């Protein structure tokens, strides 16, 4: 997931975010996506206000 977000998906339209985001932010995105299936509505709602990028 980290690699996909950093480099994008060739010939698909999925952009690479490595040029505009630090690795730390990309790892946070990967962890977020990985946890989404188990996440409750409350957990999801509190994440946006954490402010830890």
Please give the residue ranges that form the binding site for ligand HEM (CB under 6 A): 1, 4-5, 9, 12-15, 29, 33
DSSP secondary structure letter of residue 9? B
Smallest gap from residue 53 Cβ to ligand HEM (A): 13
Handedness of CA 9, 14, 16, 22 (dihedral sign): negative
Per DSSP, the three-state class of 8 is coil
Smallest gap from residue 37 Cβ to ligand HEM (A): 13
Per DSSP, the three-state class of 23 is helix
Q: Return the number of the residue (15 or 39) whose C-beta is nearest ligand HEM.
A: 15
Smallest gap from residue 41 Cβ to ligand HEM (A): 20
């Amino acid at each position: 997931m980290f690699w996909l977000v950093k480099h994008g998906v060739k010939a698909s339209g999925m952009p690479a975010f490595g040029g505009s985001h630090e690795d730390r932010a990309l790892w946070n995105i990967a962890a977020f996506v990985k946890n989404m299936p188990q996440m409750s509505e409350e957990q999801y709602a509190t994440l946006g206000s954490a402010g830890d990028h």
